[in-house]
Amino acid sequence: MALKELRKKVKQQLNTADERTLKTIQAILAVQQEEDEAELAFEAEMERRFKELEEGKGIQLTPEEFMARAQERRSGKVRTA
């Protein structure tokens, strides 16, 4: 089904949908938008971190160092880099 045809059918169905259906669709769209925004923010953060690494500014940890820091943070002994 072509996008134009799909839009037309969905619009027709929305015009006759009850309130419960409309609220459900709105909630689905809101969650999808939040996920899209979170994905964009994640991608931007990853790009920033890779750039820092390339410039020699980033922190490089072994898996053991990472886990040690994570355990320290969990126990409240937060250590800054």
List, run by run, the mean pLDDT of 10-residue segments along the chain (81 residues).
Answer: 94 96 97 97 94 88 92 78 54
Contact call for residues 70 and 61 (beta carbons, < 8 A): no
User: pTM of the full predicted structure?
Assistant: 0.57
> What is the predicted pLDDT for the residue at 63?
93
Nearest to 57, CA basis, from 48, 66, 45, 65:
48
Q: Cα–Cα distance between 11 and 77 in angstroms, integer?
A: 55
Both tokens of 54, joined, read 């390339």
> What is the predicted pLDDT for the residue at 81?
54
> What is the predicted pLDDT for the residue at 80?
58
14 Cβ partners below 8 Å, 6+ apart? 22, 25
> What is the predicted pLDDT for the residue at 14?
95
> What is the predicted pLDDT for the residue at 5?
96
Contact call for residues 72 and 78 (beta carbons, < 8 A): yes
